[in-house]
Amino acid sequence: MQQKKSGYWTKEHCADEAKKYRNRSSFSKGSNGAYTAALKHGWLDDICSHMEIRWKKLWTSKKRCAEEAKKYSNRTNFQKRSPGAWNAANKSGWLDEICSHMETYGNLFKRCIYAFEFPDSSVYVGLTDNIQRRKRQHLNSSNSAVHKHIQETTFTPICVILHEYTDKESAKTLEKFYIENYRSKGWNILNRAKAGSLGGKYVFWTYEECKSHALQCSTRSEFITKYPGAYASAIKNKWLDDICQHMDIKFEIKNNPETIRLEALKYKTRQEFRNGSNSAYEYARKHHLLDAICTHMTRPLPKVKWTEEAIFEEAKKYSSKEEFRKFCSAAYTIAHKKGIIDKACSHMVSSRKTRDYWTFEQCQKAASKYQSRNDFKKYDGSAYSTAVRNGWIEQICSNMVKPAPKIKWTHEKLVEEAKKYQTKKDFKLFSHSAYVTAVRNGVLDEICRHMV
């Protein structure tokens, strides 16, 4: 599609363009300029009202969405892997109903209370943001009090959810309550840590941590470079202005040409100015101040203008075109464009052979330098190509060593070859073709049974 001029995509033009497409996806791909303009100006819903919405067409029934939801054990996976069904259910008000079978997870602010009860009246009470994950950790981690008690007694505990997910402050109080409740009934409490520890998602970048790291930096730029995690957390929690109060602001560029002029005085060239203080440079460029504030700066030397005389003088320094092109590509390229390359290089010795140079004798002489056809082709390609073209190749290469024929790996040969090695790693390393053939034929495990 031909590129449109700036300002072309008015609402009318966008609407006319949108009529060519059946859905927004094809509109975006087929006419991105119109789509972007409509999105930017808020016209998209209006001009796309005739288009079909694919997820609405596919996920029209509650039954179909419910069947899709049954494939997932939690809402996060449902939303990520089937966004169409999730959106349809959410907008139609079915989401809670069709997700009733899914596990409920907590988060940084919510915890549930659980207990592991043993037949010998021992119990462990805890709180977590993900009961299934915590259950696996207790049963498999050697550091867990639950795992240690299982090893000591061989009893199998029952995991009980004492209270559903609630806010973290309430969860801490409830954990203490349930521990005391079990203790009052005569249960042996396995908890070692003090009740009320939130566990789960540990937040490293607290306000205090962010501030302590911010105090080590003199500018926000240094802060984000050295401690991006702290910087991101400060932005997210809206602490940035507070913890960066001590930092220097390099300069205020808004509506302050005098500050820009003082900043420009620090640099000797415009390139240095741009690299060292890009925001000030861009402000000056947009407000047409560069010429006024850069008068003290030195201008870079102008590029050499390659006239014919200059090209001829430069060409005299080299003995071949290869050297000329390598050490002064600008002059060489311009000479080519002007059609004077042959004239400028007339004094040079050409390393290229003429078309009639490669006679039978010359090809034979070149071939005698090599032990194999591969080397002949690799290092003297023009002689090799001439010999092939003229049908001399067999005659002039008769003295060369022929490559060993490739082994055809039958099953018996693969078995014999594998017996030479003690491990699959050695087999693969020292007889790669046999190893690959065995893998391809599906017999690797069979022929490697003797290996360690």
Residue ranges of domains in the chain? 11-52, 57-98, 110-189, 207-243, 257-293, 308-344, 360-396, 411-447
When mean pLDDT is compared across 56-65, 292-301, 302-311, the lowest value belongs to 56-65
Q: Which CATH architecture has domain 110-189?
A: 3-Layer(aba) Sandwich (3.40)
CA–CA separation, 90 and 52 (whole Å): 19
Using the structure block, give the residue that is written with the tokens 């498999």: 140
Give me 376's structure tokens: 């002949």
Cβ contact 122:149 at 8 Å = yes
pLDDT reading at 303 higher than 80: no
pLDDT digits (tens, 9 = 90+) for 17-62: 899 888 888 888 888 888 888 888 889 888 988 886 655 556 778 8
Other C-beta atoms lying within 10 Å of the C-beta of residue 347: 10
| 418 vs 87, more confident | 418
**What are the angstrom distances between the C-alpha of 417 and each of 365, 434, 441, 442, 449?**
42, 7, 15, 16, 13
Cβ contact 73:102 at 8 Å = yes
pLDDT digits (tens, 9 = 90+) for 340-363: 988 888 888 666 666 678 888 888
Can you tell me the mean pLDDT for 64-74?
Answer: 86
By three-state DSSP, how is residue 267 classified? Answer: coil
451: left (phi over 0), alpha (psi -120 to 50) or beta: beta
What is the sign of the dihedral through the CA atoms of 349, 351, 356 and 359? positive
Residue 329's pLDDT band (cuts 50, 70, 90): confident
* pLDDT confidence of residue 257: 80
User: Kind of pairing, strands 188-189 and 122-128?
Assistant: parallel
> pLDDT > 70: what percent of the chain?
88
Beta bridge partners, 131, equal: none
CA triple 334-336-338, angle to 5 deg: 70
pLDDT reading at 126 higher than 60: yes
CA–CA separation, 424 and 452 (whole Å): 8
Give me 56's structure tokens: 């609405």
User: Smallest Cα–Cα separation from 277: which of 265, 292, 289, 291?
Assistant: 265
Beta bridge partners, 124, equal: 116
pLDDT digits (tens, 9 = 90+) for 242-287: 998 888 665 444 557 888 888 889 898 888 888 888 888 888 888 8
Can you tell me the mean pLDDT for 139-167?
Answer: 88
